[in-house]
Structure 1
Amino acid sequence: MRALVHEPRRPQRKELEHQLSRARIDAHFVDDDLLGSEINHLRDLADDSTGIILGGGADFCGRIRAIRQAGCTNPLLVLLDQRKASDIEAALDLGADDAISWPVRGTEILSRLNSILRRAHGHAGECVQIGELTAFFDGRDPIVSGTRISLSRREHTIFQHLVLNFGKVISKNAIYDAVYGMSADQPFDKVIDVYICKLRKKIAATSASGYHYIETVHGRGYKLSPPEDAGAAHVERGQARPKGRHYRPVRA
């Protein structure tokens, strides 16, 4: 999980940096003078997999309003100084997706952002099962044919982006932006092909069928999909109506 974080107050920022690092959230902190430009950059990337964490402070309402008026639809979590019903109501009414109060834990922030993100993509449950592959939305490595495979942080970011958009073609540029969009270190886009190749090898080496599950759609990008003969994909969606021929609910 990547996050754009605004918390100008030094004591809160230091503690927040510690908590987010422990939760393995790739946090990019910005100050007041750069918040607007970073929000516009995030909007232009059209990458909704990056969360926004906004410190409470005196004018959190104005900042929430500015973020949404800028057209940025990314998951937005507000950290309030006190748990006051009026502040929570104001944050949610202005466009925040969730609000919690200090003291905060990085693991709770991660869980809340993941919940917002997966529901925005139509996934109600904690995981999606695609043939032999089980992918989790909470940061756990995937399970293939009953065996968990270990992914690097970059591999996991790419895999998670494909999972959230299961069945859809995702361009290489969109994947690149999801991984490196806010990073000062931006390698050539060929690196995405390298990571895709690594993911395919790990999945194929573990799957009973030998299938890699990541399809290349020439001229358009990549798509996570089951093999034609692997049967239906299982997607846990709560009470949502199943969509498409590869979907049916997972039963516990």
Structure 2
Amino acid sequence: MHVYLYSAKGRRQSLLDELNSVRMTPVEIGPQFFRGDLRLLNRAGGDSHAFLLSAGPDLIGQILKLRRAGCEHPILVLREAANAEDSAHALDAGADDDVVMPVNAVELRARINAVLRRAHGHSADSVTLGEVTAYFDGRDPEVSGQRVKLSRREHAIFQQLVLNARKVISKAAIYDAVYGMAEDQPFDKVIDVYICKIRKKIGQAAVSGHDYIETVHGRGYKLDLDDDAAVTGAMSSSVGLDLPRMAAN
């Protein structure tokens, strides 16, 4: 998970260390960032990059610039001391959360994931599709009751499929979400490689042998059930998606 970090100098290194410890990739930004064309942030997939903004005199202006540019990214404010009035102003301006430092990176990740999953229509911490239970909180997925270990990059890519479960997500959107904003994507074949690896791991763990990741030619990928998969039992999502029962062939 990439996050844009606008931090107070006194906590910069501790924040960087904390974020890196929980599979989060901080991208440091400064005042000049907000003077650029923020509409470029609205590329498909980019809205999964959260903003962590240290409270300061420019905070409200920064939040307003992001929201007025159409950015729907999670915005979390990091402040040194509780201040109900200032927190209210930040939330009214468009921030999603307001956190008093110091804060553990595990908690920050959970807060970001909560914003992201609700933005994608999920209310719980996981999605269940047939034999696959996928989590939003950083845990590896479980397939047919066993944990499937994913690398950091595989996990980041799989997370995008999970957030968009049962929907097609383009390769470009996955690339932007995982690797960050770029004007061109010379290495977009790397997504195909990682998708292949994730499919293999899921297919090997699934009793049915189904890999659950569908290629939609010309459009992208989709995490979903397959009509031909030998999956039995109730196919109901733990986030309230009304998934149909699938009869075993």
Do both proteins adopt the same fold according to a TM-score greater than 0.5, normalized to the shorter chain? yes
> Residues 111-122 of structure 1 correspond to what in structure 2 (within 5 A)?
111-122=110-121
C-alpha change, 1:145 and 1:245, in structure 2 (3 Å) is closer
Paired residues of 2:19 and 2:26 also in contact (CA < 8 A)? yes
Deviation string, structure 1 residues 175-232 (Cα, Å, up to 9, x no partner) = 1111122479x65211111111101100000100000000011111111111224255
Paired residue secondary structure (2:46): coil
Amino-acid identity (%) = 48
How far apart, CA to CA, are the structure 1 residues paired with 2:40 and 2:23? 23
How far apart, CA to CA, are the structure 2 residues paired with 1:96 and 1:24? 23
How far apart, CA to CA, are the structure 1 residues paired with 2:111 and 2:5? 15
C-alpha change, 1:46 and 1:21, in structure 2 (3 Å) is closer
How far apart, CA to CA, are the structure 2 residues paired with 1:17 and 1:39? 23
> Residues 67-216 of structure 1 correspond to what in structure 2 (within 5 A)?
67-182=66-181, 188-216=187-215
Structure 1, unpaired ranges of 5+ = 248-252
> Residues 225-240 of structure 1 correspond to what in structure 2 (within 5 A)?
225-228=224-227, 229=229, 230-231=231-232, 233-237=235-239
Q: TM-score, normalised by structure 1?
A: 0.89
Paired residues of 1:141 and 1:156 also in contact (CA < 8 A)? yes
Paired residues of 1:28 and 1:182 also in contact (CA < 8 A)? no
Structure 2, unpaired ranges of 5+ = none
Considering only aligned residues, what root-mean-square deviation do their CA atoms show, in Å?
Answer: 2.2
C-alpha change, 1:141 and 1:46, in structure 2 (3 Å) is closer
Paired residues of 1:226 and 1:233 also in contact (CA < 8 A)? no
Counterpart of 1:6?
A: 6
Paired residues of 2:237 and 2:243 also in contact (CA < 8 A)? no
Paired residues of 1:130 and 1:233 also in contact (CA < 8 A)? yes
Counterpart of 1:250?
A: none
Write the letter of the residue equivalent to 2:2.
R
C-alpha change, 1:216 and 1:45, in structure 2 (3 Å) is closer
What displacement does 1:38 show? 7.5
Q: TM-score, normalised by structure 2?
A: 0.90
How far apart, CA to CA, are the structure 2 residues paired with 1:193 and 1:158? 10
Write the letter of the residue equivalent to 1:160.
Q
